[in-house]
Structure 1
Amino acid sequence: MQKKTLGNILTNLKIDALNEMQEASLKANKEHKDVILLSATGSGKTLAFLLPVLERLDPANKKTQALIVVPSRELALQIEKVFRQMGTGYKVTACYGGHLRETEENNLIEAPAVIVGTPGRLGDHIRRENIKTDGIETLVLDEFDKTLELGFQEEVSFVVESLPHIKKHILTSATEAVEIPSFLELQEPAKLDFLPEDGITAPRLEIKQVLSPENDKVETLFRLICHLGNRSTIVFCNHRESVERTGKMLSEKGILNTFYHGAMEQRDRDVALTKFRNGTVNVLVTTDLAARGLDIPHIRYIIHFQLPHTEDSWTHRNGRTARMEASGTAIVMLAPDEKLMPYLSEEQVDTITLPEKAVLPEKPKWVTLFIGAGKKDKVNKIDIVGFLSKKGELKKDDIGLIEVKDFFSFAAVVRSKMSYTLELIKNEKIKNKKVKIDIAR
């Protein structure tokens, strides 16, 4: 890759330089047909495979040239976002379950150079011939350990067998936990292992424990969150029912939070993640679904409200914090009848003593506004900023993170001005169209 091109990409991504792992990936992909990259979550794997993919794209070729297979819709959206931010000029689109197939079909009419998606949805589009596979020469399996778990194997196999002209495979993972299936037909792959030697944790991650006096740990969780204050925190549970129960009980005690799990409608998941990402709530209660692929920077605390079933799950949960150069803390909550997981020793783990009196954290600065128009209505971030400034009488500092989806958008508005602004804008038009505007629930 030319230095000028790479320099432009790094500038667009607001990155000063590639890290050692990314440099090694670029070099290995130039020298080898197939590459397996093992590196901790949050270390920058996405760029480590997107740069080699970009090197292989031909601007004169109007067919789809690269396919990236991922285990979750959130990871697909994150990769799509990073590729767009790189500013390459190539078209990219994401395909995943829960997304309107008609929207994806329209996006695929003019073949994107790069398609990223989940195995089931990619297989569906290939069967319907929405994705033309004859020009695809590069195949990436990101987080292949999860993608190849039971249940995905058959669809991944179908997708791979539908690609007759693959010249390069790139596989990435944050664990070395799975055998690579024979249907991938890798040829003497170069293996880059950047996993931490002990395999447990990144050096910037502190591990602590909190001892609950009762088996029902919600009261202790409430006191812990009050003690940690208004910091970005993910609370992991093992089951969807536990997620909803825990989130509801925290709300009843006055802790603003949102919950997130796989049985929710896509729009509800979008709202939950947006509110957490933009600081409307600082506590996200979730299952292991959120342990991979969520592109949310600056998460300070990971709370294992229910203990992870496996060391692999522990690793991926903790990978949401201490990302890149930031530090973070993983906190294990233990009931009287629970013990630390066998891969952790008491010498590794400090105990947090909670104060007797719990003081509720201040409410977050932001509230999320729902706007019933998006990309398909030709509405973008600039339109929304202009609308909120002119019609809603907001200053630049009063508007936070804006996210524009296909058919709706979200904007963070400073809490102190939300009521006044909502009164001003609720009957106004955006781009001459009357749309629903309300606080996101």
Structure 2
Amino acid sequence: MEHSSFSIADILSNLQIGALNDMQQASLETNSTSDAVVLLADTGSGKTLAFLLPLVRSLKKNNNVSQAMIIVPARELALQIERVFKSMKTGFKVTCCYGGHLRETEENNLKEAPELIIGTPGRLGDHIRRGNINTAHIETLVLDEFDKSLEEGFEKEMAFIIGSLPALKKRILTSATEALDIPEFVGLENPTEINFLKGEKSPALAVKMVNSDDPDKSETLFRLICALGNRSTIIFCNQREFVGEVSGMLKDKGILNVFYHGAMEQQERDAALCKFRNGSSNILVTTDLAARGLDIPNIRYIIHYQLPHTKETFVHRNGRTARMEASGTAILMLAPGERVPDYISPAPEVITLPDTTVLPQKPDWTTLFIAAGKKDKVNKVDIVGFLSHKGMLKKEDIGIIEVKDFFSFVAVRKSKAGATLHLIQSERLKNKKVKISVAK
């Protein structure tokens, strides 16, 4: 089979790009001599083309088999790469696989094997297990934004997928994090590193603002969350009575969220924070009670729905994001007549919201409440064993477990929760009949 003969000039012309930047040129050269490449580059620097060009070079014509796979942490990124690939007009077929829409659509697209498959770890793993993807001829693998995939907890799925690619020859890994620990399952031996990071080592907190036409800002908040997508977000209100209102409004509009304030019972508080931590809900509506001491990693957005009264409060709220090596964005919401507080300088960049709203993808996890905890001599190992053996769950279908004194919470894959609850309803945990239900 002949390899694809394509002219970079033609592709750049199709993309309406004048010339490759230094990073893209370096990637093309390095990939022509190395089959293990780590590309370190900032978001928005053109890395998509930097890995797509060498990938297209590796594809063979008239083969009618899948030859390359790109694994990404989020559906938005998968769709963005697919758009760029289609705009290149190479003649090769591409299919995008991600959660949140019908699997059957993808199954139909996969029947005639696309040369390139792009997808998120959960959905790709699902297709491979079902035999929808023939992995026998996939020789090129790109792990884009690999640091984010590890952050999001996709390690097990990625290990399964990579272990299912017997013909793999070429690996390209991209990351915006320099101090990246590459796990053994990637199989990256003596990689060549291309480093185009600007060297900003401190966490990057961007401060932005949204102007609202409506005095109560609720419609603007809804549109903002739709625009941000399914990312970990905390919405801060100044008074607890607003917390319930905002949470209820979002819920009515189809956006799953949890709320947290000082007047709640301890078990309700624990449940809300646990759901937010384990990915059963990506949105937490709260007062400044959550601005201090909450250890929740990887929060991407802080929304100041109501403006903080003091600089100290503003700083504490923002301290929930851009922690460790992660970047984050704080967004101020301004109603008509409100202005940016004096302590915020320079003036934040204004976000313009799209006219159309698309509801964010619902989380893949749900949280089960177990009415037994440390005082009942129940631990995480007991819960995993119980759900695996009695509930017939695979390890990758069990997420974060939190064991409190008298009760426990466990994240399970939403698609499996109903069947599991049915299987375990009359089973015993540590020889005791224990109430287990979806956490309220």
Q: Residue 203 of structure 1: CA displacement? A: 5.5
Q: Which amino acid aligns with 1:376?
A: K
Q: Which amino acid aligns with 1:421?
A: T
Give distance in 1, aligned partners of 2:227 and 2:318: 20
Q: Which runs of 5+ in 2 are unaligned?
A: 1-201
User: Equivalences for 1:7-18 in 2 at 5 Å?
Assistant: none
Report the counterpart of residue 204 of structure 2 in structure 1: 204
TM-score by length of 1: 0.54
Report the counterpart of residue 436 of structure 1 in structure 2: 435
Report the counterpart of residue 406 of structure 2 in structure 1: 407
Report the counterpart of residue 197 of structure 2 in structure 1: none
Give distance in 2, aligned partners of 1:348 and 1:403: 41
- Structure 1 runs of 4+ aligned residues shifted over 2 Å read none
Give distance in 1, aligned partners of 2:262 and 2:381: 32
Report the counterpart of residue 338 of structure 1 in structure 2: 338
Report the counterpart of residue 382 of structure 1 in structure 2: 381
Q: Residue 216 of structure 1: CA displacement? A: 1.2
Q: Note the alpha carbon deviations across 1:136-195, whole angstroms, 9 max, x for none.
A: xxxxxxxxxxxxxxxxxxxxxxxxxxxxxxxxxxxxxxxxxxxxxxxxxxxxxxxxxxxx
Q: Which amino acid aligns with 1:329?
A: T
Give distance in 2, aligned partners of 1:426 and 1:384: 14
Give distance in 2, aligned partners of 1:290 and 1:429: 36
Q: Which amino acid aligns with 2:254?
A: G
User: Equivalences for 1:408-427 in 2 at 5 Å?
Assistant: 408-427=407-426
Report the counterpart of residue 29 of structure 1 in structure 2: none
Give distance in 2, aligned partners of 1:426 and 1:349: 53
Give distance in 1, aligned partners of 2:207 and 2:434: 47
Report the counterpart of residue 27 of structure 1 in structure 2: none
Q: Note the alpha carbon deviations across 1:81-138, whole angstroms, 9 max, x for none.
A: xxxxxxxxxxxxxxxxxxxxxxxxxxxxxxxxxxxxxxxxxxxxxxxxxxxxxxxxxx
Q: Which amino acid aligns with 1:230?
A: N
Report the counterpart of residue 322 of structure 1 in structure 2: 322
* 3-state SS in 2 of match to 1:330: strand
Q: Which amino acid aligns with 2:319?
A: G
User: Equivalences for 1:49-198 in 2 at 5 Å?
Assistant: none
Q: Residue 204 of structure 1: CA displacement? A: 1.1
Q: Give yes or no for contact 2:307–2:333 (8 Å, CA) kept in 1.
A: yes
Q: Residue 325 of structure 1: CA displacement? A: 1.3
Q: Determine if the alignment matches structure 1 residue 291 to structure 2 residue 310.
A: no
Q: Note the alpha carbon deviations across 1:48-72, whole angstroms, 9 max, x for none.
A: xxxxxxxxxxxxxxxxxxxxxxxxx
Give distance in 2, aligned partners of 1:261 and 1:426: 32
Q: Which amino acid aligns with 1:271?
A: A
* 3-state SS in 1 of match to 2:363: coil
Q: Residue 364 of structure 1: CA displacement? A: 0.1
Report the counterpart of residue 77 of structure 2 in structure 1: none
Report the counterpart of residue 362 of structure 1 in structure 2: 361
Q: Give yes or no for contact 2:203–2:324 (8 Å, CA) kept in 1.
A: no
Report the aligned-residue RMSD: 0.9
Q: Note the alpha carbon deviations across 1:324-350, whole angstroms, 9 max, x for none.
A: 1111000000001100011123x4411
* 3-state SS in 2 of match to 1:355: coil
Identity of aligned residues (%): 69
Give distance in 1, aligned partners of 2:209 and 2:337: 14
Give distance in 2, aligned partners of 1:381 and 1:348: 48
TM-score by length of 2: 0.54
Q: Which amino acid aligns with 1:352?
A: I
Q: Give yes or no for contact 2:203–2:325 (8 Å, CA) kept in 1.
A: no
Q: Residue 426 of structure 1: CA displacement? A: 1.6
Give distance in 2, aligned partners of 1:329 and 1:401: 25
User: Equivalences for 1:221-260 in 2 at 5 Å?
Assistant: 221-260=221-260
Q: Which amino acid aligns with 1:221?
A: L
Q: Determine if the alignment matches structure 1 residue 352 to structure 2 residue 351.
A: yes
Q: Which amino acid aligns with 2:429?
A: I
Q: Which amino acid aligns with 2:290?
A: A
Q: Residue 433 of structure 1: CA displacement? A: 0.3
Give distance in 2, aligned partners of 1:349 and 1:203: 18
Give distance in 2, aligned partners of 1:261 and 1:420: 33
Q: Which amino acid aligns with 1:377?
A: D
* 3-state SS in 1 of match to 2:215: coil
* 3-state SS in 2 of match to 1:273: helix
Q: Which amino acid aligns with 1:409?
A: S
Q: Note the alpha carbon deviations across 1:335-370, whole angstroms, 9 max, x for none.
A: 01100011123x441111100011001110100000
Give distance in 1, aligned partners of 2:203 and 2:422: 49
Q: Note the alpha carbon deviations across 1:193-226, whole angstroms, 9 max, x for none.
A: xxxxxxxxx7610000001011110110000001
* 3-state SS in 2 of match to 1:208: strand
Q: Which amino acid aligns with 1:341?
A: P
Q: Which amino acid aligns with 1:382?
A: V
Give distance in 1, aligned partners of 2:324 and 2:412: 29
Report the counterpart of residue 261 of structure 1 in structure 2: 261
Q: Which amino acid aligns with 2:343?
A: Y
Give distance in 1, aligned partners of 2:278 and 2:207: 26
Give distance in 1, aligned partners of 2:265 and 2:403: 18
* 3-state SS in 2 of match to 1:402: strand
Alpha-carbon spacing, 1:203–1:437, altered in 2? closer, same or farther (3 Å)? closer
Give distance in 2, aligned partners of 1:211 and 1:368: 35
Q: Residue 279 of structure 1: CA displacement? A: 0.4
* 3-state SS in 2 of match to 1:206: strand
Instruction: State how many pairs are aligned.
Output: 239
Report the counterpart of residue 115 of structure 1 in structure 2: none
Q: Determine if the alignment matches structure 1 residue 279 to structure 2 residue 288.
A: no
